A = this chain, B = another copy of it.
Amino acid sequence: MSNRDMLVVLSGPSGVGKTTIGKLIEKDSRLNGLIKKVPTCTTRPPRPGEEDGKDYMFLSRAEFAVGLSEGIFLEWVEIFGNFYGTSKREVDRILKEGKIPLLIIDVRGGRYVKSLYKDDVLTIFIMPPSEEELRRRLVSRSDLTEEELSLRLGIAHEEILESSNYDYIVVNDDLGLAVNKVVDIIEKEITRRSEDDRGKDLGKDTGNL
């Protein structure tokens, strides 16, 4: 299995489990260490068990401001007062290693990354199994006021409306199955892309395919 430059974007409403899925994909033996999650730079405080530099790189607001000034983020977004950004340098570093950066970002970031890298980006949207389940996961997560919950649900619905622009949609009903499906998709796309490249090379060699 080989790959030319390729990026994977994983999006989905808050609470749908995309970070968990991202971690499991990275470790999946079928992908053979090819996928590397790009840690998200964020100003939000770490949750228990979160290690700096793994899923997130925790920055102060002042540090994030410097990053913005210097244009270090491929894309960035404010979500409920916290800032989140994807480091260009991290993405490039992974690409240079010959690996596939995995970006776990919102749909607006995903849209932008797609517009930059076009066909080199594979976009996968993780869908909650139902409205009730989405609400349940959001409620269970923290002590939101009714208003914050409705805003989060509003944003979740808006993201779901955008999901039709994604290359693939995977429902996260059973975590193991969802991870399996995402790995299948990535495997298939890596193979397809390397076959496309071989086709192109063949065309070059014979001069008239």
A187 to nearest B CB, angstroms?
Answer: 30
Instruction: Report the interface size class on chain A.
Output: 20 to 34
Is the CB–CB distance between B69 and A157 below 8 Å? yes
Is the CB–CB distance between A69 and B112 below 8 Å? no
Q: Which of A1-9, A27-35, A148-156, A195-203 contacts B (4 or more CB under 8 A)?
A: A148-156
A79 to nearest B CB, angstroms?
Answer: 7
Is the CB–CB distance between B147 and A68 below 8 Å? no
For A147, A155, A161, which residue has the most chain B Cβ atoms within 10 angstroms? A155
Q: Which partner residue on chain B sits nearest A109 by CB separation? A: B108
Q: Is A66 an interface residue (CB 8 A)?
A: yes
Q: How far is the CA of A150 from the CA of B43 in the complex (A)?
A: 14
Residues on B with C-beta less than 8 A from A155 are 65, 68
A83 to nearest B CB, angstroms?
Answer: 8
Q: Is A111 an interface residue (CB 8 A)?
A: yes
Query: Apart from A69-B153, A108-B108, what 13 extra A-B contacts exist at CB < 8 Å?
Result: A61-B147, A62-B147, A62-B150, A62-B151, A66-B150, A66-B154, A68-B151, A69-B154, A69-B157, A71-B158, A78-B79, A78-B80, A111-B112
